């Protein structure tokens, strides 16, 4: 299986990035992370990249829609093009991506969101589900499109909500599933199994792209 070149965008600690790097290194993923870009200089994700010898770039990103935001979008796009990435993973990236990046990598940018989309978009998917009182929560990997947390869904994991859950306990249980489904989505991409048909992403050769976690701890 040929190895694909991955780029990543991250704003935070980067545990999702780490789960992908680990699986690339142990051979479970036919991919190699070649460049990580963060809007935050202090992002743990940049540190994780450096530790693994991966190019790590800080690109400050201004308010969405401004000229400075478009300039950052151009810098990010150029960096990924120069690194010849096949796929970009938004891994805890808390910014809206711009038109240059989307245009340069059509259906080649994935995002992970800690909720069962289309429910609970935004910055606090886990908290919003808990406050709403849903009995299941979860995570979604989808292709990015110009609308935040939209785009064809590739894989979802369902997590059971406990009556005594706090935002932190629920987020931790969801995160464990994120670390499983994101590498899976990347591997399907590497294997050429993902086909976008309008709003739907068809995963060829699998019975279901849904996971139900029975982890109740």
Residues designated as active site: 113
- Nearest residue to ligand GAR, scored by beta-carbon proximity: 92
**Residue from 54, 59, 88, 125 that binds ligand GAR (CB under 6 A)?**
125
When binding is defined by CB under 6 A, the residue of 8, 91, 101, 144 that contacts ligand GAR is 91
User: Which of these segments, 20-28, 32-40, 108-116, 202-210, binds ligand GAR (CB under 6 A)?
Assistant: 108-116
Beta bridge partners of 57: 37
Q: Restricting to residues 53-72, which ones interact with ligand GAR according to CB under 6 A?
A: none
Q: Per rule CB under 6 A, is residue 151 in the interface with ligand GAR?
A: no
**What's the closest the beta carbon of residue 10 comes to ligand GAR, in angstroms?**
6
112 part of the interface to ligand GAR, by CB under 6 A: yes
Size of the site for ligand GAR (CB under 6 A): 15
Specify the stretch interacting with ligand GAR by CB under 6 A; choose among 29-37, 111-119, 162-170, 209-217.
111-119
15 is a contact residue toward ligand GAR (CB under 6 A): yes
Q: How far is the CB of 204 from ligand GAR (least distance, A)?
A: 26
Task: Pick the binder of ligand GAR from 101, 175, 186, 201 (CB under 6 A).
Answer: 175
Residue with token string 């289309």: 118
* Complete DSSP assignment for the chain: -PPEEEEEE-SS--HHHHHHHHHHHTTSSSEEEEEEEES-TT-HHHHHHHHTT-EEEE----STTSHHHHHHHHHHHHHHHHTT-SEEEESS--S---HHHHHHSTT-EEEEESS-TTSS-SS-HHHHHHHHT-SEEEEEEEE--SSTT-S-EEEEEEEEPPTT--HHHHHHHHHHHHHHHHHHHHHHHHTT-EEEETTEEEETT-S-SEEEE----
- How many residues would you count in the chain? 217
Tokens of 60: 């400050």
Site residues for ligand GAR per CB under 6 A: 10, 12-16, 91-92, 112-114, 125, 149, 175, 178
């Amino acid at each position: 299986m040929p190895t694909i070149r991955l780029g990543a965008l991250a704003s935070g600690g980067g545990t999702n990035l780490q789960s992908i790097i680990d699986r690339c290194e142990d051979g479970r993923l036919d991919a190699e992370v070649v460049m990580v870009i963060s809007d935050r200089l202090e992002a743990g994700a940049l540190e994780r990249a450096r530790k693994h010898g991966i190019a790590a770039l800080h690109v400050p990103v201004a308010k969405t829609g401004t000229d400075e935001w478009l300039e950052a979008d151009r810098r990010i796009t150029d960096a990924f093009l120069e690194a010849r990435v096949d796929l970009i993973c938004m891994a805890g990236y808390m910014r809206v991506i711009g038109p240059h990046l989307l245009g340069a990598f059509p259906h080649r940018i994935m995002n992970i969101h800690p909720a069962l989309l289309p429910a609970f978009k935004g910055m606090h998917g886990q908290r919003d589900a808990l406050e709403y009182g849903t009995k299941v929560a979860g995570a979604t990997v989808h292709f990015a499109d110009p609308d935040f947390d939209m785009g064809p869904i590739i894989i979802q994991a369902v997590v059971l909500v406990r009556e005594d859950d706090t935002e932190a306990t629920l987020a931790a249980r969801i995160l464990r599933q994120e670390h499983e489904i994101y590498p899976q989505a990347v591997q399907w991409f590497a294997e050429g199994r993902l086909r976008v048909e309008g709003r739907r992403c068809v995963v060829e050769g699998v019975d279901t792209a849904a996971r139900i976690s029975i982890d109740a701890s």
